[in-house]
Amino acid sequence: MAVERILVVGGGASGVLTAAALSRRPEVGETVLVAREDRVGPGLAYGTAAAHHRLNSPAGRMSAWQDDPDDFLRWASAAGAPQDPAAFSPRRLYGDYLESVAGALPRTTVVHGEAVDVRDGEVVLADGRSITADAVVLALGNPPPLGRSAPASRTVADPWTPGALEGVRGRVLLLGTGLTMVDVATSLARADPGTRLTATSRNRLLPRVHLDAPQPAGPGLQGDPSTVGDVVRAFHDRLRADERAWQAEVDGVRPQVNALWAALGHEDRVRFIRHVSRHWEVHRHRMSPIVAAELHDLLASGRLVIGDPEGAYDVVVDCTGPRPFAEPGWNPLVDALLASGAARADALGIGIDVDGDGRARGSATLFVVGPARRGSQWESTAIPEIRQHATEVAATVAALH
Same domain, 330 and 312: no
Q: Are residues 171 and 314 in the same domain?
A: yes
Model pTM score: 0.95
Task: Count CB atoms within 10 A of the CB of residue 215.
Answer: 10
The CA–CA distances, whole Å, from 309 to 85, 178, 364 equal 40, 17, 49
Amino acid code (one letter) for 235? F
Co-location of 361 and 291 in the same domain = no
Q: Residues 12, 92: one domain? A: yes
374 with 314, same domain? no
Element (H, E) at 4: strand 3-9
- Predicted confidence (pLDDT) at residue 34 exceeds the cutoff of 80: yes
Is the residue at 219 inside a domain?
no
* Nearest-angstrom CA–CA distance, 158 and 141: 15
- Give 259's DSSP letter: H
Give the model's pLDDT for residue 389: 96
What average pLDDT does this structure show over 22-40? 95
Average pLDDT of the chain, as a whole number? 94
How many residues in total does the chain contain? 401
SS3 of 99-165: HHHHHCCCCEEEEECCEEEEECCEEEECCCCEEECCEEEECCCCCCCCCCCCCEEEEECCCCCCCCC
> What order do you get walking across the sheet with 171-175 strand by strand?
152-156, 313-318, 171-175, 196-200, 304-306
pLDDT recorded at residue 222: 87
pLDDT over 70 (residue 14): yes
Q: How many domains does the chain have?
A: 3
| pLDDT level of residue 48 (50, 70, 90 thresholds) | confident
Secondary structure (DSSP) of 165-198: TTT--SEEEEE--SHHHHHHHHHHHHH-TT-EEE
Q: Which of 294, 318, 342 is the last residue of a domain?
A: 318
Q: Give domain status of residue 381, yes or no.
A: yes
Sign of CA dihedral 127, 128, 129, 131: positive
pLDDT at 243: 61
Mean pLDDT value of segment 105-113: 97
Domain match, 171 and 280 both: no
* Residues of the domain holding 346: 3-143+322-398
Residue 90: which of 50, 62, 60 has the closest Cα? Answer: 50
Which residue among 318, 340, 373 closes a domain?
A: 318
Whether residue 71 sits in one domain with residue 31 = yes
Same domain? For 199 and 295 the reply is yes
Residue 397 in 3-state DSSP?
helix
- pLDDT score recorded for residue 148: 87
Are residues 304 and 371 both part of a single domain? no
- Is the Cβ–Cβ distance between 325 and 350 less than 8 Å? yes
Q: Given this model, what pLDDT does residue 282 score?
A: 95
Classify strands 108-112 and 115-119 as parallel, antiparallel or unpaired.
unpaired
What CATH code is carried by the domain that includes residue 301?
3.50.50.60
* Cβ atoms of 143 and 324 closer than 8 Å: yes
Point out the least confidently predicted range of 77-91, 178-192, 241-255, 304-318: 241-255
Q: What percent of the chain has pLDDT over 70?
A: 99
Instruction: Decide: 95 and 78 in contact? Cβ < 8 Å.
Output: no
> Between vectors from CA 375 to CA 274 and to CA 239, what angle results, nearest 5°?
55
Note the pLDDT tens digit of each residue in 291-309. 999 999 999 999 999 999 9
Query: Domain check: are 314 and 337 in the same one?
Result: no
